Amino acid sequence: MTEKLLTKPPFRYLHDIFTATMGKTGFGEGMFQGEELNSKSFEDRDSKMGFLVKVITLTEMMVGNKIDIKPSMVLAG
* 60 in any annotated domain: yes
Q: Is residue 33 in some structural domain?
A: no
Find, among 47, 48, 71, the residue nearest to 59 by Cα. 71
Q: What is the pTM of this model?
A: 0.84
Q: Is residue 37 part of a domain?
A: no
Confidence tier at 2 by pLDDT (50, 70, 90) = confident
The whole-number pLDDT of residue 33 equals: 86
8 Å CB contact between 18 and 28? yes
Helix (H, G, I), strand (E, B) or coil at 29: strand
Residues 6+ positions from 45 with CB-CB distance below 8 Å: 75
Range of 73's domain?
8-20+44-77
Q: What is the mean pLDDT of the chain?
A: 90
Domain assignment present for residue 53? The answer is yes
In whole angstroms, give the CA distance from residue 75 to residue 62: 23
Note whether residue 55 is domain-resident: yes
